[in-house]
Structure 1
Amino acid sequence: MSERPSGRAAATPVLVPDESASPALHPVPAASLPAPPSPELTVRALVAGGLIGSVVAVTNVYTGLKTGFWESGCVLSALLAFGGLSAVARRSTPLSPLETNLSQTAAVSVGALPASAGLLGAVPALAMLGTQPPGWAVALWGVGLGTLGVLFAFALRRRLLEDEALPFPTGAATAELISTLHSTGSAYAARARGLWVSGLASMGLTWLRDARGLVPPASLLPGTLKVGGLGADSLLVGIGWNPMLLGIGVLVGPQVGLSILLGAAVAWGGLAPWLVREGLVKEAGYLTFSGWLLWPGVGLMVGAAAASLVSQVRALPSVVRDLRGLGRQGAGWEATAGQWVSRAVLPAILLTGVMAWFAFQLSPLYFLLALLLTFPLSAVCARATGQTDIAPMSPVGQLAQVGFGMVVPGQPSLNVAAGAVVSGAASHTSASLWSLQSGRLLGASASRQLLVQLPGVLLGAAVAIPAYSLLVSAHGLGSEALPVPTGQQFKTVAEFTSRGLAGMPPSSTLATGLAFLAGVLLSVGARGRLARLLPSAAAMGIGFVVPPYYAVTLCLGALLAAIVGRLRPSATQTVQSAGAGAIIGESLLGVFIAALLGLGLLQSSG
């Protein structure tokens, strides 16, 4: 779901955690698969991919703004595509594995657009800094960056997937799932049952909570229970009635869930009471505490990001070779597609540059400076994704922010925009390579995958921008309902690189420095024998930013899934599908309720 630390135990809050939390799946050689009984590129595959991708895009906007996690959607899209297309295929041409794969490829491209357009990080950060670009400009900006990411992934495909054979585990897991689904119907039945049942239950609970007010957002511990001298209710300690949080916990696993809970305990159970005792916070409350706590929280995440990126330094020679080989693809149809890639790069750059100037006040000179960082850092991100299944999209964006801040100090909005160029292109690069890896293992045509990925970027913009606007207008950025962890991270890094220590809250300098050091040490230590014992620094940082009941609920979901997996291993896949269903159900209905509120058809239950 995110870059899964906003995904897996990554070095930043936008991890892509879902598929990597699944049991290890091994790629199936294309030669072992039966010849496809139907064409690969079909109208029904495109329609299904577009519909599924729209659901993933809306879900990513919702979960990203609330928790910083977002979902690549490879495995989920493959499952839904198989189910939907199989129903249609009963009355027409039989469904092939390659057709299912092409549908999930389109869906992943649509679903990754919120990250590429910066809706989960850069755009909220700019809004909190006082800059609000129009929605249509953000959409075109996202289309430009998403297109660059797709083209860059296609150009890197041969070297990373074939020459160096990087595993890209999520892509391999998707290929095996598709192969399994087409060989036995029971695999789909078990997964689909958990997905649909939990999705409907999640929708029902969300409606009772947000539309009718019959269920509270959270069951908080009574104020008579003290945490560091403060009432537990004033610190928002309790369990949330949020199926989405339980679902995220199921997908990220116990290590990330416990890490978020640990971060929340340190921040809200230790530092928050200390802030009150020292007089640094005059009134106990989420907004007043979070304004101080997000600094050490971001310190943890940036420290982990820095250590993660440093570990990629030895890959720089390979990155240089990657850049030199852009556009050099094989022969025949593949060579033609390679030429398209080379010719499409300049229009995508021009579109993004015009929007950067118009909507984000990023001058052509500054945009070119950001662009010079985009290609090598996207290659670094792609290599990290291939090796670890963790896509460090926010870390490379914030590395660009730091570099940009040294060259152009004192302009936080421009700093955020420059980081968004890098992280946006890197997001789609990694997501596209997951799908390309699945297609390679199934014997799919990479050129046809490219053809469906590019329109997916357009559809993603059309779906994600309205969903973002509805949620922000209904709940407000930086609120308890929309904490925007990744946006807070972009904003904090921009303020620090622009203003230095003078821009930090009183007494937060030492805490942030120590948190940064802890993030580095935890990230380095996680590469050794202690990897399973040490907490994730990126996940701990999220615990500093979100309300404590978010952390408790998410961790509860992770622990429940781990217990079920230990007691009944055969139910693991069903539980993971149930987690995905809980996320989708709350996300879709949450956006629908926000639309009703915006149209005046529903009164706020709060």
Structure 2
Amino acid sequence: MSERQADLARGEASRPSLESPPPSLQAIAPEPSALAEWTPRAWLVGSGIGAMLAVTNVYMGLKTGIWESGCLMSALLAFGGLSVLSRSGAPLSPLETNLAQTTAVSVGATPASAGLIGAVPALALLGTQPPGWAVAAWGVGLGALGVLFAYLSRRRLLEEEALPFPTGVATSQLISTLHSTGSAYAARARGLWVSGVLSAVLTWLRDARGVIPGASLLPASVRLGGVGADSLMLGVGWMPMLLGIGVLAGPHAGLSLLLGSALAWGGVAPWLVHTGKAAADYGELSSWLLWPGVGLMVGASATSLLSQLRALPAMVGDIRALGAHREGWESAVGLGVGRAVLPVILLCLLAGTWAFGLGPLELLLALGMTFPLCAVCARATGQSDIAPISHVGQLTQVGFGMVAPGREGLNIAAGAVVSGAASHTSASLWSLQAGRLLGARASRQFLAQLSGLLWGVAVAVPTYFVLVSVYGLESSVLPVPTARQFKAVAQLTSQGLAGLPPASALAMGGAFVVGGLLSVAGSRERWARMLPSAAAMAIGLFVPAYYAVTICLGSLLVSAVGRLRPSALQPVQAMGTGAILGETLLGVLIAVLIASGLMAPPG
């Protein structure tokens, strides 16, 4: 995932903020000692919300390559659920709401740590499908490594270096507001539930009854460069989830994605057909355009990570902290952390050796790259709120391509080790920052995050296999852009330029340069809003054109609302979340009904 979700980064990352961070990073609740925190109802509500988030992330990730951390959404839903339960019990405290959102975020991030969005489908595209038990163990092991690293580095990053982690700050502010102002919850909840129901109804009519098409494409009579618009997938999708993604992502990401799609399908694709380098077929054109998309992603990744080299001295300190017992830890948790490291690594080793094609030495090498790259990812997240999860995974793939050329499965598995752990590192630090500002105990959040891993894989892994069995990979329903990216990088680093489509290597090299330049220029504040996001542009090359159009429409909608009626912005953003939840949850339910034989696919 995830780049920042607001920049549609992917793979994997990351997640859009529904609130602007407050100007101050001072703790919101400095005297929480008498407030309840670790309660059964907080854990149960968080687990339930996390299950919805995990299902959403599997479905949305396979469709668009984007997944949602869910910090703000989980806080909103947790407050609502806990408020109902507190009517007949003890009063609700902000720390309970925070613990519930911490649990939910950990559960929801397991599809990314288990590789269900990228690595696992990429291996399946190469003809290797790891068994479900191995994928679950893989997700728990890598997720636990990410949680451990976040917990062990929190003091340095959150307190000593005082990195902002804006989404964590926004989450703490939202929780504080919800507990102090009743109308704040009502306005958001109303928009979320209304849009969720409408989204579910439209999804039912589309996927279960076939009354509504998946997209309204321009007719074949409309031609660009001699290619029919239907072959280029030009049109608008009847997918509320895509509108919701656009609403949360914002205009910068939406317009960047549309720009990439317009250049690809409105310019490059007709040129390919005109010059005879590709046929007027969506599948063949998509296979060609994949390579400049990879170039954009890798170019942005390389320069983004190079800019983090100045963090290396502090990074070494984080790695040394893994074996240290720091003052201030609760003794039981401190001992538990130390004892958990070796079993977690062994769990990863077992699953990786048996199912993912990694030998013990190869897995140890990947784990050796995990901690420094997780530190780089954590600092980038803290400073910019952008989690370069896919970037560190791609860098690992490039490194393994040089060490073990010709082994595509190994290459993908090694990249998944780093990106899987990094996904939970960033998500955990957002939650830990929110807890720190609210006065929560980090040790309790740590235990909630670890407990969420087991429940997360129990929900996410079956969801993945049901969706794949019903719709298939690389289908119109599941285009799996992140998996195609993993596969493409593996093929490139394993086989070199041999076998690439005509002229695609040159296009990839040019896109690599463009991605690097955009990343460097975008790091300057005055250029950041003016230049497009390389990651979002790359996704525009990976997904059908009508995906990009629909997401961009959602982003322009929220931009217009923000300008014309700022007071309605937060309810509209909640409606975007509801649109995502409504389609994804019902879409997965329909897939389960079809797979079980209780429903026939729409004719």
What TM-score results when the alignment is normalised by the length of structure 1? 0.97
Matched, 1:381 2:380: no
- Asked whether the equivalents of residues 12 and 304 of structure 1 are also in contact (C-alpha less than 8 Å), the reply is no
Q: 2 CA distance for matches of 1:26 and 1:88?
A: 33
Q: 2 CA distance for matches of 1:367 and 1:58?
A: 29
Equivalent position amino acid for 1:323 in 2: I
Corresponding position of 1:562: 559
1:522: how far off?
Answer: 0.8
Q: 2 CA distance for matches of 1:347 and 1:338?
A: 15
1:222: how far off?
Answer: 1.7
1:230: how far off?
Answer: 1.3
Matched, 1:291 2:287: yes
Q: 2 CA distance for matches of 1:397 and 1:54?
A: 25
Following superposition, which runs of at least 4 residues in structure 1 exceed 6 angstroms of deviation?
A: none
- Asked whether the equivalents of residues 495 and 503 of structure 1 are also in contact (C-alpha less than 8 Å), the reply is no
1:24: how far off?
Answer: 3.3
Aligned counterpart in structure 1 of residue 259 of structure 2, from 259, 262, 266: 262
- Asked whether the equivalents of residues 4 and 18 of structure 1 are also in contact (C-alpha less than 8 Å), the reply is no
Q: 1 CA distance for matches of 2:561 and 2:28?
A: 36
Q: 2 CA distance for matches of 1:182 and 1:551?
A: 38
Q: 2 CA distance for matches of 1:527 and 1:289?
A: 32
- Asked whether the equivalents of residues 38 and 94 of structure 1 are also in contact (C-alpha less than 8 Å), the reply is no
Q: 2 CA distance for matches of 1:36 and 1:192?
A: 29
- Asked whether the equivalents of residues 241 and 584 of structure 2 are also in contact (C-alpha less than 8 Å), the reply is yes
Corresponding position of 2:238: 241
Q: Matched residue of 1:239: which SS?
A: strand
Corresponding position of 1:126: 123
What are the equivalent positions in structure 2 for 1:42-81 lying under 5 Å apart? 42-81=39-78
Q: 2 CA distance for matches of 1:28 and 1:525?
A: 28
Q: After the TM superposition, which of the residue ranges 474-483 and 177-186 deviates more from structure 2? A: 474-483
1:281: how far off?
Answer: 2.1
Q: 1 CA distance for matches of 2:340 and 2:498?
A: 44
Q: 2 CA distance for matches of 1:325 and 1:332?
A: 14
Matched, 1:217 2:207: no
What are the equivalent positions in structure 2 for 1:20-99 lying under 5 Å apart? 22-26=19-23, 29-30=26-27, 32=29, 35=32, 38-99=35-96
The verdict on how the C-alpha distance between 1:157 and 1:302 changes in structure 2, with shifts beyond 3 A counting, is same
Corresponding position of 1:486: 482
Aligned counterpart in structure 2 of residue 406 of structure 1, from 402, 408, 431: 402
Corresponding position of 2:198: 201
Q: 2 CA distance for matches of 1:31 and 1:203?
A: 37
Q: Matched residue of 2:90: which SS?
A: coil
Q: 1 CA distance for matches of 2:334 and 2:281?
A: 55
Corresponding position of 1:597: 594
Q: 2 CA distance for matches of 1:316 and 1:71?
A: 28
Aligned counterpart in structure 2 of residue 458 of structure 1, from 444, 454, 460: 454
- Asked whether the equivalents of residues 11 and 304 of structure 1 are also in contact (C-alpha less than 8 Å), the reply is no
Q: Matched residue of 1:125: which SS?
A: helix
Aligned counterpart in structure 1 of residue 317 of structure 2, from 311, 315, 321: 321
Q: 2 CA distance for matches of 1:192 and 1:95?
A: 18
1:477: how far off?
Answer: 1.0
Q: Matched residue of 1:483: which SS?
A: coil
Aligned counterpart in structure 2 of residue 418 of structure 1, from 414, 417, 441: 414
Matched, 1:367 2:363: yes
Equivalent position amino acid for 2:596 in 1: L
Aligned counterpart in structure 1 of residue 436 of structure 2, from 433, 440, 445: 440
The verdict on how the C-alpha distance between 1:397 and 1:424 changes in structure 2, with shifts beyond 3 A counting, is same
The verdict on how the C-alpha distance between 1:515 and 1:192 changes in structure 2, with shifts beyond 3 A counting, is same
Q: Matched residue of 1:503: which SS?
A: coil
Identity of aligned residues (%): 66
- Asked whether the equivalents of residues 155 and 338 of structure 1 are also in contact (C-alpha less than 8 Å), the reply is no
Matched, 1:349 2:353: no
Aligned counterpart in structure 2 of residue 161 of structure 1, from 155, 158, 162: 158
- Asked whether the equivalents of residues 299 and 513 of structure 1 are also in contact (C-alpha less than 8 Å), the reply is yes
- Asked whether the equivalents of residues 397 and 489 of structure 2 are also in contact (C-alpha less than 8 Å), the reply is yes
Equivalent position amino acid for 2:416 in 1: A
1:28: how far off?
Answer: 6.2
Q: 2 CA distance for matches of 1:261 and 1:73?
A: 25
Q: Matched residue of 1:30: which SS?
A: coil
Q: After the TM superposition, which of the residue ranges 227-236 and 130-139 deviates more from structure 2? A: 227-236
Matched, 1:542 2:539: yes
Aligned counterpart in structure 2 of residue 18 of structure 1, from 16, 19, 23: 16
1:288: how far off?
Answer: 1.7
Q: 2 CA distance for matches of 1:76 and 1:421?
A: 27
What are the equivalent positions in structure 2 for 1:464-479 lying under 5 Å apart? 464-479=460-475
1:455: how far off?
Answer: 1.1
Q: Matched residue of 2:497: which SS?
A: helix
Q: 2 CA distance for matches of 1:484 and 1:555?
A: 20
Corresponding position of 1:311: 307
* Structure 1 residues without counterparts, runs of 5 or longer: none
Equivalent position amino acid for 1:389 in 2: D
Q: 2 CA distance for matches of 1:22 and 1:327?
A: 37
Aligned length: 602
Corresponding position of 2:171: 174
1:328: how far off?
Answer: 3.4
The verdict on how the C-alpha distance between 1:31 and 1:381 changes in structure 2, with shifts beyond 3 A counting, is closer
Equivalent position amino acid for 2:311 in 1: A
The verdict on how the C-alpha distance between 1:27 and 1:448 changes in structure 2, with shifts beyond 3 A counting, is farther
1:224: how far off?
Answer: 1.8
The verdict on how the C-alpha distance between 1:31 and 1:465 changes in structure 2, with shifts beyond 3 A counting, is closer
Cα deviation, 1:191-229, whole Å, max 9, x if unaligned, reads 101110000000000000000000000111122222222
Equivalent position amino acid for 1:142 in 2: G
Matched, 1:142 2:133: no
Q: 2 CA distance for matches of 1:287 and 1:10?
A: 23
Q: Matched residue of 1:219: which SS?
A: strand
- Asked whether the equivalents of residues 327 and 339 of structure 1 are also in contact (C-alpha less than 8 Å), the reply is no
Q: 2 CA distance for matches of 1:33 and 1:314?
A: 33
Matched, 1:340 2:341: no
Q: 2 CA distance for matches of 1:166 and 1:57?
A: 28
The verdict on how the C-alpha distance between 1:34 and 1:204 changes in structure 2, with shifts beyond 3 A counting, is farther
The verdict on how the C-alpha distance between 1:345 and 1:426 changes in structure 2, with shifts beyond 3 A counting, is same
Corresponding position of 1:250: 247
The verdict on how the C-alpha distance between 1:332 and 1:271 changes in structure 2, with shifts beyond 3 A counting, is closer
Equivalent position amino acid for 2:378 in 1: A
* Structure 2 residues without counterparts, runs of 5 or longer: none
- Asked whether the equivalents of residues 357 and 364 of structure 1 are also in contact (C-alpha less than 8 Å), the reply is yes
Q: Matched residue of 1:325: which SS?
A: helix
Q: 2 CA distance for matches of 1:335 and 1:156?
A: 17
Equivalent position amino acid for 2:538 in 1: G
Q: Matched residue of 2:579: which SS?
A: helix
Q: 1 CA distance for matches of 2:24 and 2:116?
A: 33
Q: 2 CA distance for matches of 1:535 and 1:424?
A: 27
Q: 2 CA distance for matches of 1:32 and 1:444?
A: 9
- Asked whether the equivalents of residues 10 and 65 of structure 2 are also in contact (C-alpha less than 8 Å), the reply is no
1:35: how far off?
Answer: 4.1
The verdict on how the C-alpha distance between 1:185 and 1:486 changes in structure 2, with shifts beyond 3 A counting, is same
The verdict on how the C-alpha distance between 1:391 and 1:72 changes in structure 2, with shifts beyond 3 A counting, is same
Q: 2 CA distance for matches of 1:188 and 1:426?
A: 32
Q: 2 CA distance for matches of 1:130 and 1:339?
A: 42
Cα deviation, 1:217-268, whole Å, max 9, x if unaligned, reads 0111122222222111221111000000000000111011011111111111
1:335: how far off?
Answer: 4.2
1:36: how far off?
Answer: 6.7
